[in-house]
Amino acid sequence: MNALFSPTTLRDAATAAPNALASSEVPLLDVSGVTVQYKTRAHLVTACHRVDFQLYKGERYVLLGPSGCGKSSLLKAVGGFLPPVEGSIRLNGQPVTRPGPDRMMVFQEFDQLPPWKTVKQNVMFPLLASGKATRRQAEERALAAIATVNLSGFADAHPHTLSGGMKQRVAIARALAMEPDILLMDEPFAALDALTRRKMQDELLQLWDTLGFTMLFVTHSIEEALVVGTRILVLSPHPGRVKAEINCHAFDRASAGSPDFQAVAQRIHALLFADAVEQPVAGGAS
Ligand X SMILES: Nc1ncnc2c1ncn2[C@@H]1O[C@H](COP(=O)(O)OP(=O)(O)OP(=O)(O)O)[C@@H](O)[C@H]1O
Q: Does 45 bind ligand X (CB under 6 A)?
A: yes
Q: Does 73 bind ligand X (CB under 6 A)?
A: yes
Comparing CB distances to ligand X, the nearer of 56 and 61 is 61
d(CA 235, CA 277): 10
SS3 sequence of 78-105: HHCCCCCCEEEEEECCEECCCCCCCEEE
Q: Does 68 bind ligand X (CB under 6 A)?
A: yes
Q: Does 38 bind ligand X (CB under 6 A)?
A: yes
Q: For residue 178, give the 3-state DSSP assignment.
A: coil
Q: Does 44 bind ligand X (CB under 6 A)?
A: no
Provide the greatest CA pair distance for the chain: 56
Per CB under 6 A, the segment of 12-20, 60-68, 242-250, 264-272 that binds ligand X is: 60-68
Q: Does 65 bind ligand X (CB under 6 A)?
A: yes
182-186 β-sheet, strand order:
103-106, 182-186, 215-219, 60-64, 231-235, 242-247
Per CB under 6 A, the segment of 37-45, 127-135, 141-149, 268-276 that binds ligand X is: 37-45
Q: How far is the CB of 67 from ligand X (least distance, A)?
A: 3
Q: How far is the CB of 68 from ligand X (least distance, A)?
A: 4
Q: Does 47 bind ligand X (CB under 6 A)?
A: yes
Q: CA dist 123 to 81, 102, 131, 149, Å?
A: 21, 16, 14, 12
Task: Mark residues 186-225: x for contact with ligand X by CB under 6 A, - for none.
Answer: ----------------------------------x-----
Whether omega for the bond prior to residue 239 falls within 30 degrees of 0, making it cis, is yes
Q: How far is the CB of 243 from ligand X (least distance, A)?
A: 13
Q: Does 67 bind ligand X (CB under 6 A)?
A: yes
d(CA 55, CA 64): 15
d(CA 272, CA 187): 18
Q: Does 79 bind ligand X (CB under 6 A)?
A: no
Among 132, 158, 199, 238, binds ligand X (CB under 6 A): 238
Q: Does 71 bind ligand X (CB under 6 A)?
A: yes
Q: CA dist 119 to 42, 107, 165, 218, Å?
A: 42, 16, 13, 25
Which residue from 28, 129, 110, 31 is spatially nearest to 73, judged by alpha carbons? Answer: 31
Per CB under 6 A, the segment of 65-73, 88-96, 192-200, 248-256 that binds ligand X is: 65-73
Q: Do the Cβ atoms of 16 and 4 come closer than 8 Å?
A: no
Comparing CB distances to ligand X, the nearer of 2 and 72 is 72
Comparing CB distances to ligand X, the nearer of 40 and 279 is 40
Q: How far is the CB of 47 from ligand X (least distance, A)?
A: 4
Instruction: Give the residues lining the site for ligand X (CB under 6 A).
Output: 38, 40, 45, 47, 65, 67-73, 220, 238
